[in-house]
Amino acid sequence: MKDYQRERYNAAALTLSKKLERRNFVAIICQNLTAAKNQALELIDQDKSVGFGGSITVEQSGIIDELYQRNQKMIDREKTSSAEERHQVMKQALTADYFLTSINGVTEDGELVNIDSVGNRVAALTFGPDKVLAFVSMRKVYGNLATTLEMVRKNTAPLNAHRLGLEKTPCIKRGNCGDCLQSECICNTIAVTRRSMSKERIIVFLIIDEIGL
């Protein structure tokens, strides 16, 4: 990243952090994903349980492996052997002490925008786990709510469809969102979290580096 890009993201992050705090979020500015991971590890009580949703950013951070290495109690759907068991573990993650996730987009006013297929990730964000640790790159701060929704649906969702190897959606066939109702649709739930009801429950790591989809 060029120095001027980093300077711009740092300035924007300072402005955004104040707006997030007015909405009862905690905002922590980190220069890179490693710094965000290390701060998250410090915040997670080693005697508590941790759940997580599907997230490239969380996966790339390496935090899951480090939590296992310190014998954290993990609620991990990837360790299941059947669709039914996976579904049950995803439900159990909603009762975790901590939940790790990424954010698809953030408005300049501090609203969190997420699109989900099953809905488990946004469910955990809105209610359930005592603490939510959310990772997001400053690259995903798009503007007002309408612009952010459009970017998440027309950019992030198609990229995820290709990442997941789907076959039938317009995201795959044309490369763009077609507002579909296909069985493979990953835009089943669109959630805007404009404020946290519980103060400081949702901790947002604003990462200066350009990461994630």
Name the H helices within 23-119. 33-43, 56-61, 63-69, 83-92
Average pLDDT over residues 161-185: 85
- Confidence check: pLDDT of 155 > 90: no
State the virtual CA torsion across 68, 71, 72, 73 in degrees, nearest 10.
100
pLDDT of 160 reads: 83
Residue 63 CA, distance from chain mean position: 14
> Which pLDDT belongs to residue 61?
95
pLDDT at 6: 95
A 10 A CB-CB count for 146 gives: 10
pLDDT at 176 over 90: no
The pLDDT of residue 24? 98
Confidence at 1, pLDDT banded by 50, 70, 90 = confident
Long-range interactions of 161-169: CB distance < 8 A, separation 24+: 161/186, 163/56, 163/213
The predicted model gives 2-25 an average pLDDT of 96
Nearest to 23 by CA among 207, 202, 148: 202
> 122-125: long-range contacts at Cβ-Cβ below 8 A with a sequence spacing of 24 or more?
122/189, 122/191, 123/94, 124/51, 124/53, 124/93, 124/94, 124/96, 124/99, 125/99, 125/101, 125/191, 125/193, 125/202
Residue 62 in tokens: 């390496």
Which tokens go with 60? 């790339």
Percent over 70 (pLDDT), the chain = 100
Give CA–CA dist 146/109, Å, rounded: 12
Q: Give, in order, the Cα–Cα distances in Å from 2 to each of 5, 32, 203.
A: 5, 14, 28
Sketch the domain layout of the chain as residue ranges: 3-207
CATH architecture for residues 3-207 = 3-Layer(aba) Sandwich (3.40)
- pLDDT class of 123 with cuts at 50, 70, 90: very high
Average pLDDT of the segment spanning 174-202: 91
pLDDT digits (tens, 9 = 90+) for 84-116: 999 999 999 999 999 999 999 999 999 999 999
